[in-house]
């Protein structure tokens, strides 16, 4: 697949996006509050979106700033974000991140990927999501859906999400960088499943090379 197909793919995916429930981190991002985006993204790791939604909203309703969260104990945070995956570890990560933000960044979330990755538990995916959705700056967030589907399209040929991010930075037109994650995550959650994707219902099946697809519905 070449860049000539990308405008049509983005157009079709945007039309489909309206049919699906928007990812919770994207909805939280409407507030343009980088801290809330950061916390919701940490909670979302290895957790289904419905669970992330409930856990994030409960925690952020109770405490929505680093100082407010630091008033909570790890046990209190655990109870608020349960049953998010690895909720005990995430509770400690959230406390550590808030402590670092207070001590090293005057309570503010940095808007730089490298600075964000200095925070405990923050990798490139989370850092890119905070930069793009929290600050509206250019970045490409690559999670398992974006990595899988970009390779399935035949648009990139990579082995890891990090490699996919850098391949996309070289190839994907910048005007699509921010929206690309939301569109592919939503599509991956609803139709382009890891195993046996719904190719018969896919609006971009004619543009997709279906790399690695052995069985579909």
pLDDT for the residue 1: 80
pTM over 0.85: yes
Domains of the chain: 3-21+140-201 (1.10.1670.10), 33-135 (1.10.340.30)
Contact between 129 and 141 (Cβ < 8 Å)? yes
pLDDT in tens, the chain (217 residues): 888 999 999 999 999 998 998 888 998 998 889 999 999 999 999 899 999 999 999 999 999 999 999 999 999 999 999 999 999 999 999 999 999 999 999 999 999 999 999 999 999 999 999 999 999 999 999 999 999 999 999 999 999 999 999 999 999 999 999 999 999 999 999 999 999 999 999 999 999 999 999 999 9
How far is 12 from 207, CA to CA, in rounded Å?
11
Q: Write the pLDDT tens digit of every residue in 88-107.
A: 999 999 999 999 999 999 99
For 8-35, the pLDDT digits (tens) are 999 999 999 989 988 889 989 988 899 9
**Rounded CA separation 149/211 (Å):** 9
Q: What residue has token string 């960044």?
A: 105
pLDDT at residue 100, rounded to an integer: 98
- How far is 126 from 143, CA to CA, in rounded Å? 9
Q: What is the pLDDT of residues 70-82, one digit of tens each?
A: 999 999 999 999 9
Return the DSSP state at 201: G
34: nearest Cα among 121, 142, 132, 174:
132
Distances (CA, A) of 72 to 47, 62, 77, 94, 103: 22, 9, 7, 11, 17
Cα–Cα dist 153/2, whole Å: 10
Residue 143 per-residue DSSP state: -
The catalytic residues are 125, 143
């Amino acid at each position: 697949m070449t860049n000539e197909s990308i405008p049509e793919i983005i157009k079709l995916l945007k039309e489909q996006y309206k049919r699906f429930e928007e990812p919770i981190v994207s909805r939280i991002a409407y507030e343009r509050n980088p801290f809330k985006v950061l916390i919701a993204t940490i909670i979302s790791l290895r957790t289904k979106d419905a669970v992330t939604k409930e856990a994030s909203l409960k925690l952020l309703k109770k405490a929505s700033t680093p100082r407010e969260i630091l008033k909570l104990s790890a046990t209190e945070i655990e109870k608020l974000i349960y049953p998010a995956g690895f909720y005990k570890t995430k509770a400690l990560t959230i406390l550590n991140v808030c402590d670092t933000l207070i001590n090293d960044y005057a309570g503010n979330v940095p808007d730089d990927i490298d600075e964000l990755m200095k925070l405990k538990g923050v990798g490139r995916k989370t850092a890119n999501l905070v930069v793009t959705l929290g600050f509206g700056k250019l970045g490409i967030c690559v999670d398992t859906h974006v990595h899988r589907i970009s390779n399935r399209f035949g648009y990139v040929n990579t082995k890891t999400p990090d490699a996919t991010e850098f391949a996309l930075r070289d190839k994907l037109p910048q005007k699509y960088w921010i929206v690309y994650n939301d569109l592919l995550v939503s599509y991956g959650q609803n139709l382009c499943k890891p195993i046996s994707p719904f190719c018969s219902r896919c609006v971009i099946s004619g543009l997709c090379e279906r790399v690695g697809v052995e069985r579909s519905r």
